[in-house]
């Protein structure tokens, strides 16, 4: 199953989930109606049913009219909906809310130890390889081996990892865990998980109201017994509703865990990594437990079952460990990895990591020298020097890697990150210097004085000084490093307050306007920031087909085709049109960037299985001259980003 099929299945799964939960709420309404009718019957002086009281049930059912049913339905629906909407509003900021509620601490390289830096490096490699923004990483001070991904979509996703995960897993095992979490990010599972939290909170609220009435009834002198009885009934009804809701949650979650395990193997091409991580959990005394107060609310988020033994079997949100391991590694003999072997292996890997970091400090100089040479060659022949070193990649192969980065992509991402100037990479992890780096990416030689003056006036002085400090290194970045550097900056920039973000956005717009011209490179930078950092109103409406978007598609095809050499533009355009079964036409003028923004917003509404057709057409367009130019491919990645389709790193 590919990325687009996963997305389509997630939408289908959401519809089924809503239907099942709607049936659960309907059952609550019926049970509550019966309970209220019974209370009313007794309040009118009815005794318990007996053989002598033949009209008991007749009188009872006479109370079950439409007025009572509609009244109870209105109250139950109001409680569930208001409770759900309240909880969803609390979670609207995305995964950070979940991580912080589990007492997670945001990691920053400035105060990280070696194991934490290893974790951040793995997360960055996976993000760059998959073509998604680097998510913030939170550390939970828990001894159990566990992790989670949370958020509505990649732009607000976070990854949380327990201390036990860092202490007990080596790099390959930790990479398997992180790849599993990236599957949840890429395949639409996170949104489903957050919606489950909101809806189940609404159902739980019925029981909470029952607790309040029970306590109130105990202290009430007037009708205290009736109030307490009514409260007790609501507690039982609320518990039954929550129980059914959790059963639905568990059934959905177990299936998604199997898919995420399979995707993790597909990403890393290393079944032993995730298999041994699960074996570590099975042989570790603390297992995968999470002791945070509200750990049960997010039980379906975790890599492994974070709750104690009572949440097992068909009520568990995760399949049994041995079942998951055997699906990944059929040759597994059933023995979990012991604590002693984990300690020995961890010490060995820690020493190896230290040696690797020391050698990386020397290899970084060679990588920097290599990229400098490449940039010099690019400036001499800008048309095709920045290519994938002669590789001829097919549109089919690239499409297959969308949402499923290959082992080669991950390795290439690691090499790319190592080639980035160490000072620049370190600066990306600080909010102030990250802003300065983004300003540097918008540098225009013709407007150098105007841009410097604008930053000096509208940005805080420390950031202005950082801008001047890093400008030379940022301006010298090769094309292939520009988007990854933005991705590295995003977690730090997300830590900015709303006023800081507003000021940051204003300075960016001022820098773009400094030369009275919006270039394609500037538009690309702003599109990424707009999508992942600044508030962007998502286009609303029904899902669309390719046939519904002729004008918008034509504008995007024109933009991409015009990046080819003059002699190849019409052919590139024709290849894309043919791929989409669209009528042949003459290549027109490029639309204004504001119009392209609106077109991408509309095209984002394409059905999941329609988007790969458009991306394939764009890839065929840039392949027309037989070579994939990095600048063209990075533009394609920005367009795919606007469609919420993560394009893999070119390798």
pLDDT per residue as tens digits for the range 167-202: 999 999 999 999 999 888 877 778 878 888 888 888
Looking at per-residue pLDDT, the higher value among 511 and 329 belongs to 511
With bands split at pLDDT 50, 70 and 90, how would you rate the model's confidence at 512?
Answer: very high
Give the per-residue pLDDT at 629: 80
Bridge partners of 491? none
The closest alpha carbon to 146, from 290, 280, 23, 242, belongs to 290
Helices 593-603 and 630-642, packing angle to 10 deg: 60
User: Are residues 463 and 608 located together in one domain of the fold?
Assistant: no
* Residues 59-81: tens digit of each pLDDT: 555 666 677 778 878 888 888 88
What residues act catalytically? 181
Give the per-residue pLDDT at 251: 74
Give the per-residue pLDDT at 578: 92
With bands split at pLDDT 50, 70 and 90, how would you rate the model's confidence at 571?
Answer: very high
Of 208, 234, 253, the residue at which a domain comes to its end is 253
Residues 206-234 have a mean pLDDT of 70
Q: Please indicate, yes or no, if residue 650 is contained in any of the structural domains.
A: no
Of 498, 532, 566, the residue at which a domain comes to its end is 532
Residues 83-96 have a mean pLDDT of 84
Q: Give this prediction's pTM.
A: 0.76
**Are the C-beta atoms of 289 and 307 separated by less than 8 Å?**
yes
Looking at per-residue pLDDT, the higher value among 558 and 647 belongs to 558
Range of 89's domain? 3-48+55-94+194-253
User: Are residues 556 and 524 located together in one domain of the fold?
Assistant: no
Looking at per-residue pLDDT, the higher value among 296 and 280 belongs to 280
Percentage above 90 pLDDT, the chain: 34
With bands split at pLDDT 50, 70 and 90, how would you rate the model's confidence at 313?
Answer: low
Please provide the DSSP assignment of 446-502 as one string.
GGHHHHHHHHHHHS-HHHHHHHHHHHHHHHT--HHHHHHHHHHHHHHHTTS-HHHHH
User: Are residues 576 and 451 located together in one domain of the fold?
Assistant: no
Residues 254-266 have a mean pLDDT of 81
The closest alpha carbon to 204, from 85, 83, 31, belongs to 83
Residues 335-345 have a mean pLDDT of 65
The closest alpha carbon to 140, from 111, 167, 161, belongs to 161
User: Are residues 107 and 155 located together in one domain of the fold?
Assistant: yes
Q: Is the pLDDT of residue 346 over 90?
A: no
The closest alpha carbon to 204, from 167, 242, 240, belongs to 242
**Spatial separation of the C-alpha atoms in residues 255 and 317, rounded to whole Å:** 9
Q: Please indicate, yes or no, if residue 169 is contained in any of the structural domains.
A: yes
Q: Is the pLDDT of residue 365 over 80?
A: no
Lowest-confidence range among 358-362, 499-503, 561-565, 588-592?
A: 358-362
Q: In total, how many domains does the chain have?
A: 4
Give the per-residue pLDDT at 388: 38
With bands split at pLDDT 50, 70 and 90, how would you rate the model's confidence at 537?
Answer: low
Q: Is the pLDDT of residue 38 over 80?
A: no
Q: Please indicate, yes or no, if residue 601 is contained in any of the structural domains.
A: yes
Looking at per-residue pLDDT, the higher value among 2 and 130 belongs to 130
Most confident of 66-80, 92-106, 251-265: 92-106
Question: Exposure of 446 by Cβ count < 10 A (0-12 exposed, 13-18 middle, 19+ buried)?
Answer: exposed
Residues 324-334 have a mean pLDDT of 88
Beta-carbon contacts of residue 467 (< 8 Å; ≥ 6 apart): 436, 439, 440, 455, 459
Residues 353-371 have a mean pLDDT of 37
User: Are residues 83 and 141 located together in one domain of the fold?
Assistant: no
Residues 574-584 have a mean pLDDT of 91
Strands 147-150 and 158-162: antiparallel
Percentage above 70 pLDDT, the chain: 79
Q: Is the pLDDT of residue 451 over 90?
A: yes
Region of 626 (left: φ > 0; alpha: ψ -120 to 50; beta: rest) is left
Q: Is the pLDDT of residue 84 over 90?
A: no
Of 328, 358, 373, the residue at which a domain comes to its end is 328
Rg (C-alpha) for the chain, rounded Å, is 29
User: Are residues 132 and 205 located together in one domain of the fold?
Assistant: no
User: Are residues 141 and 73 located together in one domain of the fold?
Assistant: no
User: Are residues 425 and 528 located together in one domain of the fold?
Assistant: yes
What's the chain's average pLDDT? 80
User: Are residues 481 and 601 located together in one domain of the fold?
Assistant: no
With bands split at pLDDT 50, 70 and 90, how would you rate the model's confidence at 43?
Answer: low
User: Are residues 469 and 595 located together in one domain of the fold?
Assistant: no
Q: Please indicate, yes or no, if residue 436 is contained in any of the structural domains.
A: yes
User: Are residues 160 and 179 located together in one domain of the fold?
Assistant: yes
Question: Per the structure block, which two tokens stand in for 100?
Answer: 């912080």
Give the torsion through C-alpha atoms of 425, 440, 565, 559, to 10 deg: 100
Bridge partners of 138? 106, 160
**Spatial separation of the C-alpha atoms in residues 582 and 586, rounded to whole Å:** 12
Q: Please indicate, yes or no, if residue 145 is contained in any of the structural domains.
A: yes
Q: How many CB atoms lie within 10 A of CB 259?
A: 18
Q: Is the pLDDT of residue 384 over 50?
A: no
Q: Please indicate, yes or no, if residue 648 is contained in any of the structural domains.
A: no
Give the per-residue pLDDT at 602: 92
Give the per-residue pLDDT at 554: 94
Looking at per-residue pLDDT, the higher value among 456 and 337 belongs to 456
**Spatial separation of the C-alpha atoms in residues 33 and 65, rounded to whole Å:** 10
Residue 292, domain CATH: 3.30.2010.10
Q: Is the pLDDT of residue 550 over 60?
A: yes
Residues 479-485 have a mean pLDDT of 91
Beta-carbon contacts of residue 294 (< 8 Å; ≥ 6 apart): 101, 102
Q: Is the pLDDT of residue 555 over 90?
A: yes
Q: Please indicate, yes or no, if residue 584 is contained in any of the structural domains.
A: yes
With bands split at pLDDT 50, 70 and 90, how would you rate the model's confidence at 295?
Answer: confident
User: Are residues 90 and 124 located together in one domain of the fold?
Assistant: no
């Amino acid at each position: 199953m590919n990325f687009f099929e996963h997305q389509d299945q997630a939408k289908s799964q959401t519809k089924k989930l809503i239907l099942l939960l709607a049936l659960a709420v309907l059952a609550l309404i019926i049970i509550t109606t019966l309970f209220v009718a019974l209370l009313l019957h007794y309040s009118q002086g009815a005794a318990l049913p007996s053989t002598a009281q033949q009209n008991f049930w007749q009188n009872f059912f006479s109370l079950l009219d439409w007025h009572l049913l509609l009244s109870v339905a209105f109250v139950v629906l109001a409680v569930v909906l208001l409770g759900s909407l309240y909880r969803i509003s609390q979670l609207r900021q995305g995964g950070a809310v979940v991580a912080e509620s589990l007492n997670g601490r945001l990691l920053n390289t400035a105060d990280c130890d070696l194991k934490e830096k290893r974790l951040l490096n793995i997360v960055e490699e996976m993000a760059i390889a998959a073509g998604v923004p680097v998510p913030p990483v939170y550390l939970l001070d828990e001894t159990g081996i566990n992790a989670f991904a949370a958020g509505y979509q990649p732009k607000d996703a976070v990854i949380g990892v327990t201390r036990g995960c860092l202490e007990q897993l080596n790099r390959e095992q930790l990479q398997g865990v992180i790849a599993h979490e990236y599957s949840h990010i890429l395949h639409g599972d996170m949104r489903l998980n957050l919606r489950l939290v909101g809806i189940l909170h609404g159902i739980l609220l019925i029981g909470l109201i029952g607790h309040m009435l029970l306590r109130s009834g105990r202290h009430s002198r007037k009708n205290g017994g009736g109030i307490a009885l009514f409260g007790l009934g609501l507690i039982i009804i609320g518990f039954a509703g929550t129980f059914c809701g959790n059963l639905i949650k568990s059934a959905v979650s177990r299936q998604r865990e199997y898919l995420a395990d399979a995707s993790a193997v597909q990403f890393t091409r290393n079944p032993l990594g995730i298999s041994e991580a699960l074996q570590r959990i099975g042989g570790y005394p603390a297992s995968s437990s999470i002791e945070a107060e509200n750990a049960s609310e997010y039980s379906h988020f975790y890599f492994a079952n974070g709750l104690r033994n009572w949440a097992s079997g068909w009520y568990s949100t995760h399949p049994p460990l041995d079942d998951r391991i055997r699906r990944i590694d059929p040759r597994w003999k059933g023995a979990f990895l012991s604590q002693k072997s984990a300690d020995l292996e961890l010490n060995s890997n820690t020493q190896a990591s230290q040696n690797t970091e020391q050698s990386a400090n020397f290899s970084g100089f060679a990588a920097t020298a290599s990229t400098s040479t490449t940039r010099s060659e690019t400036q001499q022949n800008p048309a095709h020097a920045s290519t994938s070193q002669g590789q001829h990649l097919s549109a089919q192969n690239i499409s297959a890697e969308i949402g499923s980065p290959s082992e080669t992509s991950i390795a290439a991402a690691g090499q790319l990150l190592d080639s980035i100037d160490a000072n620049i990479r370190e600066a990306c992890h600080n909010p102030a210097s990250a802003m300065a780096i983004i300003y540097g990416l918008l540098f225009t030689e013709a407007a150098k004085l105007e841009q410097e003056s604008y930053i000096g006036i509208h940005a805080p002085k420390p950031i202005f000084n950082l801008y001047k400090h890093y400008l030379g290194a940022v301006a010298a970045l090769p094309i292939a490093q520009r988007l990854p550097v933005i991705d590295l900056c995003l977690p730090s920039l997300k830590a900015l307050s709303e006023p800081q973000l507003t000021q940051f956005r204003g300075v960016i717009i001022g820098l773009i306007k400094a030369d009275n011209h919006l270039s394609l490179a500037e538009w690309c930078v702003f599109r990424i920031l707009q999508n992942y950092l600044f508030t962007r109103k998502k286009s609303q409406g029904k899902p669309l087909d390719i046939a519904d978007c002729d004008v918008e598609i034509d504008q995007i095809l024109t933009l991409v085709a015009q990046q080819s050499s003059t002699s190849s533009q019409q052919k590139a355009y024709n290849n894309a049109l043919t791929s989409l079964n669209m009528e042949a036409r003459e290549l027109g003028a490029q639309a204004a960037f504001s119009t392209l923004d609106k077109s991408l917003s509309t095209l984002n509404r394409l059905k999941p299985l329609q988007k790969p057709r458009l991306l394939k057409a764009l890839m065929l367009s840039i392949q027309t001259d037989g070579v994939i130019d990095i600048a063209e491919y990075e533009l394609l990645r920005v367009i795919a980003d606007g469609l919420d389709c993560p394009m893999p790193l070119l390798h």
